[in-house]
Structure 1
Amino acid sequence: MRKLRYASVLTASTLTLAACGMGGGTTDGGSGATGDQTIVVDEPFAPAANWALETDDAFVLSKAGCLETLVKYETSGALKPMLAVSWKETAWTAWDIKLRSGVTFQDGTPLDAQAVVGALKHALGVKTPASVFSPETIKDVAAVDGSTVRITTKTPDSLLPQRLAAPNTGILAPKAYTGSSTDPKGTCTGPFQVTKEIPQQAVTLKRNASYWGGPVKLGSAEVRFIADAAKRATQVQTGEAQISRKLAVTSIQDLKGSGDIKVDTAQLPRTIELVLNNKKAPFDNELVRQAIQAAIDPKAITEAVYAGAGRPAVGPFGPGEPWTPEGAEPVAADPAKAKTLLATAGVAPSSVKIQLIAYNEGSSFSDLAAVIQAQLKAIGVRVTIRTADYASVEPDLLSGDFQAALLSRNYLSTMPDPLGFLTADYTCQGSYNLAHFCDPKIDAALKKAASTTDTKTRNAVYAEVAATLQSRAVDVFLVHETESAALAGQVSGFRLHPYYTLTADLSLATK
């Protein structure tokens, strides 16, 4: 089951994309008015699961300005009303969600309690629910009245509002779920409505003229799915696109000196890690994992590959965050220690042969893989590199048929709290546990954290788990990554966000 990261396999030419009506500019006769303009956005990952909201397709649909959630997440960490105007814990295991009045889906049907209950029950009833909202934590969803939904949890869950801000809990009209796959056309509530989809290549959208949030400044939009970061950057330079997300480090400086193009960079809660398969030799031996960790130099990697676009990792979480262990520092490279750990494990360095997966869509992963290859060669460990589109390697990652892989992971993307990431990636039944790591003590700690109302206490649990992951070298955490987007000079109202790109406030200045 594909869960948290999808990749396009786009190889179509610019001519093919142009035939889809690509290219920012004016529409409706080219009047030049802001409301008549269209924008083109290049994204790295395409929908790959027929818009199933329990998968990463929900994030694609949210960024496209179509899908909305009950609660809105701000990058400051604040939660604000979206389709719900309030939420209140009415009992130890019950929350009442008051819906916004006057909202309609894009097909004209009203957003009411029955529609929301239907959408959330659908999320619970799929074959593999998203970890953020699953029967493991949710007992029942029911309508209290026409505008109030009650969500009952199996145990006290202080983080339910954060769960309701995740795109996986997005709300679509009842019609969306009546076919063999989820249909977003006309069933969203957002500022943009999907009008056409070219699988693995692009979606076109038009303004939702009845948007509950007020006037939508743009008339239409196009989202292209282009795996090649260099191509995404080039299309902003040539004027074929106005926004390109997730730039490669090598493109940033070139774009900064290119005409009126702006580069927007933000320090996001994203960590690049070397995923080690804890169930497959040689990484089923903790000493071997620790040896690999000791041989790799995060500081050198950051300087060589991510200069100006990252910081050496101090663990899964960035320095200074409330859930990062106090005093956490990057692991200091120590090749001599690495060799000693291998000797203690009874493993000859020459016997360790690793295939490292570096998917094409990752930020400079080909360069990163080459540096890791060289650093491990220095202790006698041989590394071969396998490059491919993410979609082609994901089945091996999820099944455990691999040794090591590079991964860029946003630890607040699953939900706006580390619990979602830690549960998905590091619990025994985690839906995205690529490390195939299992420790019942960590499972119990995270379950306790979910029911803890005191934020400071909960963050302390996360810090303890992070320290354990680091000390046991469950994975090797390399770089805390920034994310950069290229913007044409006329773009206004854009901000980097893990959930939202196309918004009602986004516009293009007239020329």
Structure 2
Amino acid sequence: MKKSLLLSAAIAAASSAAVADTLRIPHELGYGGSESIDPISPQRFYEAIQNVYSRLVRQGNDGRPSADLALSWEATPDAKEWTFKLRDGVTFHNGNPFTAEDVAFSLMRTQSPAIDSPTKDVMEIIDRVDIVDPLTAKVVLKQTHADFPLLVMDYRIKMLDAETCGGDLDALCESGVGTGPFELVDYDPLGTTSLKRFEDYYDGPAGVENIELIAIADQDARVAALQAGQIDFIYALSAEQVPLFANNPAFTVQSVPTGRWVGMVMNTQEAPFDDPRVRKAVRMSADREALGKLVYGKDGFITTCDHPVWSGDQYRADIECARDIEGAKALLAEAGYADGLKLELFVSDISEGAVKMAEVLQNQAKDAGIEIELVMAPSDGYWGDVWMKEPFFATGWSQRPADQILNEAYRSGASWNESAWNSAEFDAALDGARGELEFDKRKALYGELQKDLWENGGSFIPVHLNTVRAFSSNLKGIDPVEDFSLRLENVTKAGSGG
């Protein structure tokens, strides 16, 4: 009997120790199990790639480029050539050294038509990558870009091992071999994906030994799992969920101003949204301040005018977009809908507040004679089954610099151009802004692009969000920064051996 009790106690202690040294994080299963460990795949597994791979340049806590695998970078006076000096002694998880050859491979594969990465249209500005020496890579651009380091700061532009990937620029690389703080142990997007600490990480071993990425598609189920102690962390809460954790000493709640947004998208190539008057009427019907308060609470957002550049970006334009019901009715009448307009909006619990935002828009749009029927879609597989496949649908994006998001989401033909925005003039203006070396002139050009989207675009982006995350209070080292700046390798857990 005594041996049995001792054995049970030992098992319980071992289990407790394992939990104490494991950071458990949910992922939303947005691609229904088809998530890829290749960082530039259209179905990239965000939570995995963030921890397995490293970038040349990471996003610092201030949102600006900060050294990662590149220690320094400099440009020629015309900003058409950028030279990156690499860290010495960095190794991949398989022991291979990280060199300029891997930089060339990782950057050039982003342009592959076969892979069709959402990074393709942004990174096609690269003409070639010259290997100056093993620790120096020179990126030669097709045109001037004064802010090129912002592009390689993208969370998907990770450095892969060219040898392990077979050097094939046109094939996905599913090896999971990176230089990041955690190694891939078991890959199961439908269940639990397991990572372990990479002891030879260039910046020192991570604070916890393991990470488990647990598939939980439903937002309410994720909240219940955190309350029950089955997971340790949730990236984002809705306004209704915050009180479940606030003022509870078992949890910490952080609110961080970011460039994230949840919105609704109209396909500009499909009727009735092929008429810019209809698109603007829908957007003019919204009271953004009231919507934001209803969906995210009075401190959970900053209003914006249907463009993706957030208030913390150096190129943000100051635009007024007050609600105008009479103006919306007039536009609808001009477009042939004097008696009103009926629409279907596909929505799902894909991001915090998406469904409630759709409900508020539905109610507000009635005043302009716009009747919106909400079509609920399952969150499991939403990004593959509904997003960009219906004429009017919900979306959600994380923070990106102005140049990147304007190119990725609005350049003609871009693979994540969700509104099917197609304007040769807009594309030319994007190129002009990239190539302008004087900051004030460049800012003015980016501002005109944002105004164009407010006047004519197909995106309803009423607010940028303060990300409100919650996590167990036994976690330390989670900085109050935007998700792309968050470094889970710095997190420790009470009782962890790290």
Task: Settle same-fold status: TM greater than 0.5.
Answer: yes
Q: In the alignment, is the contact (CA less than 8 A) between 2:47 and 2:213 conserved in 1?
A: no
Cα deviation digits, residues 142-199 of structure 1 (max 9, x gap)? 31112111211111222221222113220122354249742244x1111111100113
* Cα contact 1:237–1:258 (8 A) shared by 2: no
Separation in 2 of the partners of 1:106 and 1:248? 37
Deviation at 1:134, TM superposition (A): 5.8
- Helix, strand or coil at the partner of 1:198: coil
- Counterparts of 1:37-116 in structure 2, within 5 Å, are 37-45=21-29, 48-54=34-40, 55=42, 57=44, 59-63=46-50, 65-90=51-76, 92=78, 93-116=80-103
Residue of structure 1 in register with 2:180 after alignment: 190
Summarize the alignment of residues 380-399 of structure 1 with structure 2, pairs less than 5 Å apart.
380-389=369-378, 391-392=381-382, 394=384, 397-398=387-388
Number of the residue aligned with 1:447 = 431
Q: For 1:120-139, what aligned pairs fall within 5 Å after superposition?
A: 120-127=107-114, 128-131=116-119, 136-139=124-127
Tell me, yes or no, if structure 1 residue 360 matches structure 2 residue 349: yes
SS of the counterpart of 1:209?
A: coil
1:491 aligns with 2:481: no
Relative to 1, partners in 2 of residues 1:392 and 1:269: Cα closer, same or farther, differing over 3 Å? closer
Quick one: distance in 1 between partners of 2:44 and 2:77?
Answer: 33
2:361 counterpart residue number: 372
Instruction: Report the 3-state secondary structure (helix = DSSP H, G, I; strand = E; otherwise coil) of the residue aligned with 2:264.
Output: strand
Whether the 8 Å CA contact 1:46–1:225 is kept in 2: the answer is no
Report the Cα offset of residue 345 of structure 1: 2.3
User: Taking structure 1 as reference, are residues 313 and 482 closer, same or farther at Cα in structure 2, changes over 3 Å only?
Assistant: same
- The alpha-carbon deviation at position 202 of structure 1 amounts to 2.6
Q: What residue in structure 1 maps to residue 234 of structure 2?
A: 244
2:396 equivalent to 1:408: yes
2:8 corresponds to = none
List alignment gaps of at least 5 residues for structure 2: 1-10
**In the TM superposition, what are the counterparts of 1:205-354 in structure 2 within 5 Å?**
205-307=195-297, 308-316=299-307, 317-319=309-311, 321-326=313-318, 328-329=319-320, 331-350=321-340, 352-354=341-343
- For structure 1, the residue ranges without an aligned partner over 5 or more in a row are 1-25
Counterpart-to-counterpart distance in 2, 1:117 and 1:321:
29
For 2:156 and 2:133, locate their aligned partners in 1 and report how far apart those are by CA, in whole Å: 24
- Separation in 2 of the partners of 1:429 and 1:447? 15
| Offset at residue 27 of structure 1 (A) | 11
CA contact (8 A) 2:329 2:368 kept: yes
Counterpart Cα distance in 2 of 1:378 and 1:28 = 62
* Cα 1:471–1:125 shift into 2, 3 Å: closer
Note if contact 1:44-1:246 (Cα within 8 Å) is conserved in structure 2.
Answer: no
Q: Is the 8 A contact 1:423 1:446 kept in 2?
A: yes
- CA–CA separation in structure 2 for the residues paired with 1:31 and 1:213: 28
Work out whether residues 43 and 246 of structure 1, in 8 Å CA contact, stay in contact via their aligned partners in 2.
Answer: no
TM-score, L = length of structure 1: 0.85
The residue that corresponds to 1:149 in the other structure is 137
Measure the CA separation in 1 of the matches of 2:211 and 2:155. Answer: 20
Once the two structures are superposed, residues 106-156 of structure 1 have per-residue CA deviations (whole angstroms, 9 ceiling, x without a partner) of 100111122322222333335214436766311112311121112111112
**Offset at residue 469 of structure 1 (A):** 1.0
Matched, 1:509 2:494: yes
Secondary structure class of the residue paired with 1:256? coil
Shift of 1:296: 1.8
Using the aligned pairs only, state the percent identity: 23
Deviations 1:292-327 (A, max 9, x none): 22222212211222213223323423447432223x
Q: Distance in 1 between the 2:141 and 2:162 partners? A: 23
**Aligned partners of 2:412 and 2:424 also within 8 Å:** yes
Secondary structure class of the residue paired with 1:443:
helix
Q: Which amino acid aligns with 1:265?
A: S
Partner of 1:22: none
Contact 2:258 2:312 in 1 (8 A): no
Partner Cα distance (1:135, 1:497) in 2: 23
Give the conservation status (yes or no) of the 8 Å contact 1:360–1:389. yes
Give the partner amino acid of 1:440: A
- Alpha-carbon spacing, 1:31–1:135, altered in 2? closer, same or farther (3 Å): closer
Shift of residue 392, structure 1, vs aligned partner: 3.9
Tell me: CA distance 1:375–1:247, structure 2 relative to 1, closer, same or farther (3 Å). Answer: same
How far, CA to CA, are the matches of 1:403 and 1:430 in structure 2? 17
The aligned counterpart of 1:177 is 165
Rate the CA distance shift 1:110–1:318 in 2: closer, same or farther, 3 A: closer
> 2:189 & 2:46 partners in 1: Cα distance?
16
Instruction: Give, in whole Å, the separation in 2 of the partners of 1:169 and 1:319.
Output: 24
- Contact residue 41 and residue 243 of structure 1 kept, 8 A: yes
Distance, in Å, in 2 between the alignment partners of 1:311 and 1:500 is 20
CA contact (8 A) 2:91 2:97 kept: yes
Structure-1 separation of matches of 2:441 and 2:49:
32
